[in-house]
Structure 1
Amino acid sequence: MKSIEEKDLFEKIKQGNERAFEHLFKTYYAHLCVFASKIIEDEIAAEEIVQEFFVKLWEKRTLLTIDSSVKNYLFKSIKNLCLNFIKHNNVRLQHAKNFIAEVETNHFSDNFIEVDLARKIEESIESLPEKRREIFRLSREEGLKYREIADKLKLSVKTVEAQMGLALKTLRDKLKEYNTFLFFVSAFKKEMD
């Protein structure tokens, strides 16, 4: 897309033109996801970052001014969000390591946390609307890609992406009190692999 076309498109978006926004989304979403996943090496988190970016872009469209090309703005924004994600996770990892060191020093047993967490995760998944729960389970428990889920359930890939985004947000909100523990477990597993 030419720079002049991009600027016209973005002006339409600022005026609330949903079709222009959809066109921008369809043009750049997949490229931004690939770009983000190369930075943070986590496909799911990369998709969440890009999805959240587009939501905020729409919400703040009237306040935005783009001095460079729209394409440069999009990629630079995603790069910055990925770097923030990495910094935030490094802080959380350090906090989790400190927490585990304290637990080991004080000989606390975290078995009760794991049992309670497993129960809470299952309850949270079960509380999702039926179709969203099915999509979530196909992705996380059966390891299907969004395209495979879409084909299996006769839905669009965009619908599957949107439903997964909503499912993950719901689960994050419901499992807030376990964030440090969950992050440590996933980070520790990645380090061990």
Structure 2
Amino acid sequence: MYKQTLYLCLAMEQIKAIKADNQEIFSLVYEEYHRQIYGFIMQRTKSDYIAEEVTQLTFIKFWKQRDILSEQLTIAVQLFGMARQVMIDLLRKEATRFKYEGASAVTPFTDSLVDAIESKDLLRLMEQDIQNMPKMRRLVFELSRKQGLSHKEIANLFSISPKTVEQHIGKALLQLKQHLYSVML
């Protein structure tokens, strides 16, 4: 009981300090709750992109609304409440955007907002994996898949055989496939 009372007093002092524009206390609160908010959102959305966005927007909202923070509620209660509301607002906004952009903006394999968000995360992971490939493999892969050049055209560009181009692309695809398979597990 004593610990709980002490914790509440400390939380109330932190809220008073934040309301008085104390950025140091705000930074401490950010450090203490950042991972927790991120995990809370990640657990519900399964999206790294949304978890990052919501976490940042939550702390921005918390700072902007510091004048109206309640001294009767803990920081955790207020932060998680804001995070939940920010998540709902962001999901609604994204749903509306997809609705008005139409099917052309959504890839064929996405049939819901969550699938679209997961696809964005997957594409970002793939792009990171492509950037981590050996230089020649990456160049050949990007010329083939992003620029649409034929194996023969790429071979002429680098003075290599079309078979070597084929091997680079095969290794690149295998690397992507293995990485994506490990991520999906």
Radius of gyration: which is bigger?
2
Structure number with greater CO (CA < 8 Å, separation at least 6) is 1
TM norm structure 1: 0.48
